[in-house]
Chains A and B, each alone.
Chain A
Amino acid sequence: MRLLIALALALAVALAIAVAIGETSLSENQYIRGLADPASGPGEILWSIRAPRAVAAALVGAALGLAGAVMQGLLRNPLADPAVLGVSATSALGAAVVIAFGLAGVSGAIEAAALAGAFGAGALLVILANRFETPETLVLFGVALSALGGAATALIFNLSPSPIAANEVLSWLLGSVANRDWGDDAAMLVPGLLGAGLCAYAARGLRMLTLGEETAAMSGLPMARLRAAAVAGAALLTGAAVALAGVIGFVGLAAPHLTRGAVADDPAATLAPSALAGAILLVLADLAARLIPTDQELKLGVVTALFGAPLFALVAWRASRSWRA
């Protein structure tokens, strides 16, 4: 509980910093006016531009952190993460198809397509995980799935007759929370909360899976239902995150690793802290994307990959030692 309070406070501080700091520097008087009157000029900057963007980063980070923790628990694999296992790529493929066919304007179309892509990959991974037990094999399937999703998305990008649509698809591939408004944030709440609820329900099953499939099957818990809830929850969260921000890698991988030590490795107890840690990570990463001085603002997915890829290598190196043991 103390861990959750500390993480929630840290998230609040990160959000406050993300709202307070930006490209346009404000004077003390402007901050006071902006905080008091959201309709004023500084108020617009704080409440209509920076705040919904920071909240979008927090929501996406929380969803990916939680989805990563659930996938790692479900597959007993410290390398599992929506991006590593190709769930994000197939989800983005769904969104890309909708954009390329000019249906992006249809309300809920991108969200539905992103969710469908995530569900397809999630279901495939569970089938493969049941058939091939070694953790390395599953990561390899994830790499293949990710490459296939990326290639199909690139194909759409290639064949797209409209350069505008192609540009939009590219934006999905790189991931960003720029220009998100409160309406975009609100659209993520329903699938996000539903996904989080399913993951919370599946938590005891994840803990039991620590002992392996057969012991879990013999434990008396309704494992088939718990496993389905975990997959559906992780897919909903990933799909919702992709719909709001495109493909953002490594948050789902890093967040559980940052919190696991504080909860004695318990795959059930690591869920809520991972969501909070993911939110903090992505709010800070987005702040970095905004503040790093470049001609064009850095894409959020690029920032997380720059920090995340070395972390992935480190985790893989440490995990390979325990697999040999």
Chain B
Amino acid sequence: MSPALELRAVGAEKAGRAVLQDVSLALAAGEVLGVVGANGSGKTTLVRASLGLAPLTAGEAWLGGFAVRTLSNHKRAALAAYLPQDRRVGWSLPAWRIAALGAPSAGPMQARAAALGALKKVGMAGLAERGVLEMSGGERARVLLARLLVTRAPLFVADEPDAGLDPDAQRLIMELLRAAAGEGAAVLVTLHDLTLAAGTCDRLAVLGGGRVLSLAAPEEALSPTVLRTAFGLEGGLVATAAGPVLAARRSAPGAPALT
């Protein structure tokens, strides 16, 4: 079976500057792949290039075995669904209406039922009729995640779904994405919190300067060498009862030593 997503030697530019270079990775059904890297390392471009939203200067992106650039909008939506980092919503539609946008081709009753089901999954069933602009950031993030789940796409792509959320909401969002993977979806997610990434992703792709510095299980991917190169951090992952935790300090010259 073709991987849900495959990038082969992908390159991309932004304003004439190379943002991605020679990026290759593959993601299978049921797997959560985290993409981590410093600001400006190319995470969002990687996500957008994967979905055909950013033009490629080299290589090819494949969704379910089809080259993205050859796909119609309709076919692409059947193969992948996207949760962008920007959670701005134009109008204060009720939560169920937002979630129902995940199924634009379904009949109104079907779409509403699917939306209510997804809102229940994300713990928002009680606020189905509330306008999304009247909600807290965490509540809105969950409603937008419900919209993603309603698509029932084989690949979910989420760009920093934890941004701006409290630690509990961050973990909840990742648990829900993990649960989707448990039901057979492939999940590509970009994250900044390395402890969260290491604790919830099956594998991590670490980006630095637009290249994949490592692609492996979290403990291996976030080796001390990679942490130093990609983030300028000295330290590593420490195994605890609650999962791996990042213990590191800045490796900038003059930084106080950890004791």
Binds B, one of A137-145, A157-165, A203-211: A203-211
**Measured CA separation A231–B127 after assembly (Å):** 34
In the bound complex, do residue B91 and residue A218 qualify as a contact, i.e. CB atoms below 8 Å apart?
A: no
Within 8 A of A (CB), among B193-249: none
**Measured CA separation A215–B48 after assembly (Å):** 11
Binds A, one of B17-25, B78-86, B170-178: B78-86
Within 8 A of A (CB), among B45-91: 48, 51, 53, 73-74, 76-78, 80-84, 86, 88-91
Does residue B101 face the partner (Cβ distance < 8 Å to A)?
yes
With an 8 Å Cβ cutoff, the count of chain A residues facing the other chain is 25
In the bound complex, do residue A266 and residue B93 qualify as a contact, i.e. CB atoms below 8 Å apart?
A: yes
Please, which residues of chain A bring their CB within 8 A of the CB of B104?
204, 208, 219-221
Does residue A299 face the partner (Cβ distance < 8 Å to B)?
no
Does residue A43 face the partner (Cβ distance < 8 Å to B)?
no
Scan A208-229; emit 1 where CB is below 8 A from any B CB, else 0.
1111101101111111000000
Q: What is the interface residue range for chain B against chain A?
A: 20 to 34
Does residue B131 face the partner (Cβ distance < 8 Å to A)?
yes
In the bound complex, do residue A210 and residue B98 qualify as a contact, i.e. CB atoms below 8 Å apart?
A: yes
Does residue A25 face the partner (Cβ distance < 8 Å to B)?
no
Expressed in whole angstroms, the minimum distance between the Cβ of B151 and any Cβ of chain A is 8
In the bound complex, do residue B90 and residue A76 qualify as a contact, i.e. CB atoms below 8 Å apart?
A: yes
In the bound complex, do residue A264 and residue B86 qualify as a contact, i.e. CB atoms below 8 Å apart?
A: no
In the bound complex, do residue A218 and residue B98 qualify as a contact, i.e. CB atoms below 8 Å apart?
A: no
Within 8 A of B (CB), among A56-84: 73, 76
In the bound complex, do residue A214 and residue B73 qualify as a contact, i.e. CB atoms below 8 Å apart?
A: no
Please, which residues of chain B bring their CB within 8 A of the CB of A207?
93, 97, 101
**Measured CA separation A220–B77 after assembly (Å):** 5
Within 8 A of B (CB), among A183-212: 204, 207-212
Given contacts A210-B91, A211-B98, 20 further A-B contacts (CB under 8 A): A204-B104, A207-B93, A208-B104, A210-B98, A210-B101, A211-B90, A214-B53, A214-B82, A215-B84, A218-B53, A219-B77, A219-B104, A220-B74, A220-B104, A220-B105, A222-B74, A264-B94, A265-B131, A322-B133, A325-B133
The 17 listed contacts between A and B (C-beta, < 8 Å) are A204-B104, A207-B101, A210-B93, A211-B90, A212-B90, A218-B81, A219-B104, A220-B76, A220-B78, A220-B105, A222-B73, A264-B93, A264-B131, A265-B91, A265-B131, A266-B97, A267-B91
